[in-house]
Amino acid sequence: MDRLPLPPIDHPRFRARALQNDRAASDAVRPGLRLVGADQSPSWSPAATPKARAARAVSRENAAAASIPEADARRLLAARVAEMLDGGTAARLAPERRARAVRLARILGLREFDAHLVIAIAQDAARRGARPSSISLDGRLTLVGHPSTPQQPPRARGRAGLAWALALGAGLGAAGALGLIRWVAS
Sequence ranges of the domains in the chain? 73-139
Residue 132, class by beta-carbon neighbours within 10 Å (0-12 exposed, 13-18 middle, 19+ buried)?
middle
Q: What is the mean pLDDT of each run of 10 residues along the chain (186 residues)?
A: 61 62 56 63 61 82 68 85 83 90 91 91 86 66 73 59 86 93 90
pLDDT at 51: 83
Report pLDDT for 72: 81
Q: Is pTM beyond 0.85 here?
A: no
> Looking at residue 141, what is its pLDDT?
78
Q: What is the pLDDT of residue 79?
A: 87
Predicted pLDDT at 180: 92
Rounded to whole angstroms, how far apart are CA atoms 172 and 161?
16
